[in-house]
Amino acid sequence: MIKIKQGNIIKEKVDCIVNSTNAELAWEETTLNGDILNSGGIELIKYLYDYNIQHGDLKCTDTIITNGYNLFSKYIIHTYCPVWEGGYYNEIDKLRQCYINIFDLVKQYNIKSISIPAIATGVFRFPKHISASIGIKEAIKCDNNVEINFVLFDDDTYNIYNNIFNNV
């Protein structure tokens, strides 16, 4: 079941939320990534720091899962999305791969409910309508026993996702 809703992903009471992260898995002050890491707490930030020291920077489309720590969700899936550069560098295929990786982890960890923000549309500059189309199409391919919520913060993004969902 797929739902499009407006809200704050940090407050979602689901098995898992998704975080669009940077290569270093590092805290960023004015982004949703920063909000998620702040809310997850110091143990989450320390875990991601240690992970980066052990494994190095993520490559574009790399996706990992962590505990939710201080969040309501049991897990957080962190995915390193492509930066939009006009579509000249396979950004659409790379974002699609991020979603494929997310839903692979959903199956692997037997996640029954997940909330996903408008990944790659903030500092990564992906056009919202393209991100929405890719995300919704990949969500439809996912197992029907998973509750998939696209949780969108502002009216504009909500309307874009809702319109695309209603026309798929």
* Assigned architecture for domain 2-166: 3-Layer(aba) Sandwich (3.40)
- Hey, where are the domains in the chain? 2-166
Task: Quick: pLDDT tens for 23-33.
Answer: 999 988 768 99
pLDDT confidence of residue 27: 82
pTM of the model: 0.96
Nearest Cα to Cα of residue 103 among 121, 118, 120, 116: 116
Residue 20 three-state SS: strand
Q: What does pLDDT average to over the chain?
A: 96
Q: Residues 103, 141: contact at Cβ < 8 Å?
A: yes
Give the 3-state DSSP-derived string for 29-72, with helices as H, strands as E and coil as C: CCCHHHHHHHHHCHHHHHHHHHHHHHHCCCCCCCEEEEECCCCC
Confidence of residue 144 (pLDDT cuts 50, 70, 90): confident
Task: Quick: pLDDT tens for 56-114.
Answer: 999 999 999 999 999 999 999 999 999 999 999 999 999 999 999 999 999 999 999 99
pLDDT confidence of residue 76: 98
